[in-house]
Structure 1
Amino acid sequence: MTIATPASRQSGLALFFAVTFAWTGVFWFTAIALGGSTTSFPTAIFFLLGGFGPTIGAIVVRARRARLRQPVPARTVRLRLGMRLFWVLPLLAMASATVLAGALLAYLLGGPELSLTSGQSLIATVGGPVPFFISMLIGGPLAEEPGWRGTAYPRLRASMSRLQVGLLMGAAWAVWHLPLFFIPGTIHAEFGLISWNGLLFSVNVIPMALLIGYAYERAGVLAAIAVHFGVNTTIALLGVKSPMTLAFIVAVQVIVALTLLASYRDRRPELPVQVDADPYRVDANPYPVGPAGQVDPDATYRMGRTHG
């Protein structure tokens, strides 16, 4: 009989974070040592590869889970067509709207005016709209979300609330980004670690983690990718660099994230399915039972082919 236990969940999390930070650290610290910018060879290669740390962590965890024949975490959101995918575009629009609203509020209260000049320059630099949007999709959303949300999030949700998971993952995400402040050519290096912009960027990943976590529970990894992409791309197109604008974006995203989490009813995980050594036993119990004979809701794992 195979039942995922809290210990196996914790070991999966430990493995994910260890691989993610180790992979990213090796490549990004090598990029720092090389001293070039993100557009120079070979620094660019190490910079790009380092961003895939969370996805590499996810692959390692899932390979281990498959080898040990462990079940998929119950908080994992299956990739389903239909209503789940229906949420992707609205969530993408919502993510962009939080950035636009923050930038507009800052402008109305005396901050920089909204302009696409910086974004147009950036698009021209990378070779046009198609390379720009592809790079924005790969560099961040696709490289990270299968790991942060698709792998770590459901394991943390097995024992934590959405708010707690968002705060914890936001803090881990902020730490993971720190080497970027020392790689020339990144927006992080332009901000500087010891600056209002650097501080606000690090703080901003927490409401972003809440928003992306909400999107993941709504429609899975594709929705998480959409929200991540929407925020990053809108900030790049607007050329957001003012501390005042960043502060208002953080404030708007905090309000939106907390409102969404408060309005969205918690999703109850399905009861787990056990795999018995003899499937023809008539006394095989399909559900985990607690010490008092009741079904144990903490053993929230099920079998299946899905994300996680």
Structure 2
Amino acid sequence: MSEPDNPQPTRGVSPNAARSVSRELWVFFTLTFAMSWGLGGLYLLLHAQLDPLLGPMGPHNAVFYVAAWAPTLSALLAALTLGGTAGCKALLARLVRPFPPVWLAVAALIVPAIALVLTLSPRLGFPNWPVTPRMILVALPAVLFGTAQIVTNTGPLGEELGWRGYALPRLLAKSNAFLAAIVLGAVWTIWHVPAFFITGIMGQSLAGFGWWSLDTFALSITITWLFLRANGNVIVAGMIPHFVINGMGAVGAWLSRPPEAAALAVVAVCLLLADRHRFFRSPGAAPL
């Protein structure tokens, strides 16, 4: 299998090539859910026996980190199993793909910019809005660059090489970018469901799941847009926006509150409309 991590468009190629892309996706998703839901579920069933040894499920628990890193670990396993050493090299190469530097700034600033606009909420009908500019401009950089957030918050490193490095290019080979973003957003949302039942993981209750889901779908569209613009570089289109939005959650500046989720959804719709020729063109028209 040549170019294992750069699947070619399924339209106009042999049925075997199309089936190969589908198989790679199924292997990746199956491994991801088996590793996280399976391992995590088994731990929760046996927690009475395992808690004294490893502690409760959550940060500082080794099993938690394996489950939380399931997308990245599954991508590496799938790439190695289906593509060999070349597959792993191609997957890791997505971390260093060249891109126009402006997209690095866009990736880092797009969600904080939305949050800053929302600090005007008292003027927009939300008189008790809890987020202040200081939380975004001072507390957020302090957490991102002055703590071990990049390691302790598993999302950027533990997920993005899988979601955006392995799955998204293959979804783009099978469908247009809008549909790929929606499918990946759905998988991303479902994968997180068990975390809502583990105290202290998501930072919010199951009651907020609907707004969090909207936030996740909107973020999936936004990151897909960055992926198309930044030549498929996973650090720009994945790790950085994930790192930033999780850091904002750590300081209370973004918790998928209704105005936040709605605002990000509005931005996502604007991106779809403004860049519709990229989002809705034929599958694999410009393979990444």
Shorter-chain TM range is 0.7 to 0.9
Aligned to 1:96, which of 101, 109, 112?
112
1:217 and 2:228 aligned: yes
Secondary structure at the counterpart of residue 5 of structure 1: helix
TM-score of the superposition, structure 1-length normalised? Answer: 0.70
Q: Give 2:81's aligned residue.
A: 64
| Distance in structure 1 (CA, Å) of the matches to 2:140 and 2:55 | 20
Compared with structure 1, are the counterparts of its residues 230 and 123 closer, same or farther at alpha carbon in structure 2 (3 Å cutoff)? closer
Partners of 2:181 and 2:220 within 8 A in 1: yes
Q: Give 1:275's aligned residue.
A: none
Compared with structure 1, are the counterparts of its residues 221 and 179 closer, same or farther at alpha carbon in structure 2 (3 Å cutoff)? same
C-alpha deviation, 1:240, in angstroms: 4.5
| Distance in structure 2 (CA, Å) of the matches to 1:123 and 1:28 | 32
Aligned to 1:238, which of 252, 263, 268?
252
Higher helix share: 2
Q: Give 2:197's aligned residue.
A: 182
Q: Give 1:165's aligned residue.
A: 180
Q: Give 2:214's aligned residue.
A: 203
Query: For the aligned residues, what is the CA RMSD?
Result: 4.1
Q: Give 1:290's aligned residue.
A: none
TM-score of the superposition, structure 2-length normalised? Answer: 0.74
Secondary structure at the counterpart of residue 80 of structure 1: coil
Aligned partner letter, 1:5 = A
Q: Give 1:113's aligned residue.
A: 130
| Distance in structure 2 (CA, Å) of the matches to 1:246 and 1:261 | 23
Partners of 2:228 and 2:278 within 8 A in 1: no
- Structure 2 gaps, min length 5: 3-13
Compared with structure 1, are the counterparts of its residues 15 and 107 closer, same or farther at alpha carbon in structure 2 (3 Å cutoff)? farther
Aligned partner letter, 2:246 = N
- Structure 1 gaps, min length 5: 270-296, 303-307
Secondary structure at the counterpart of residue 79 of structure 1: coil
Which has the larger Rg? 1
Deviations 1:86-138, CA, capped at 9 Å, x for gaps: 42122211122223334543774224332468xx99999x9x963343346x5
Compared with structure 1, are the counterparts of its residues 254 and 72 closer, same or farther at alpha carbon in structure 2 (3 Å cutoff)? farther
1:192 and 2:205 aligned: yes
Deviations 1:71-95, CA, capped at 9 Å, x for gaps: 999xx968334x4344212221112
Compared with structure 1, are the counterparts of its residues 131 and 49 closer, same or farther at alpha carbon in structure 2 (3 Å cutoff)? farther
Aligned to 2:97, which of 80, 91, 97?
80
Q: Give 2:36's aligned residue.
A: 24
Structure 1 residues 141-160: aligned runs within 5 Å: 141-160=156-175
